[in-house]
Amino acid sequence: MTLKARPIKDIRHQLINYKESSKRGVVKRVSEATKIDQSQVSRILAGNFVRVSPNVREICKHANITVNEKAKKPKVLSKKLIDTIMDVWDGSPEVEELLCNMIISIKPTIDKNYIG
């Protein structure tokens, strides 16, 4: 079982709802509990963020908002992915190695911005 990032718009919506349904002073309480500056907490709880940064993740954890969902790894590659690889690959082992290395090299970016 792997983790799949939830859509940012869902996380944003839940954080806004959390702020609206909380008592007065929620920004201060969350700031004190998470050790994140009040201005950052206020911005994040207003939904003003583009990616799930460590601060967003910490505030979500405090608010019991799930950032990742469990997802099964696909058993087969998507047609789009296969078609894209086949369009680029010339059949040589050298280009095969290059493509594999390129895909592996973007894993940290995927993990950081989409998974976690």
Residue 113: closest CA among 68, 46, 47: 68
pTM: 0.58
Average pLDDT on 28-49 reads 95
Would you tell me how many other CB atoms lie within 10 Å of the CB of residue 57? Answer: 15
Please give the DSSP secondary-structure letter assigned to residue 111: I
- The amino acid at 103: I
Q: Output the pLDDT for position 77.
A: 81
pLDDT at 21 over 70: yes
Tokens representing residue 59 in the block = 């505030």
Highest mean pLDDT among 23-27, 41-45, 62-66, 112-116: 41-45
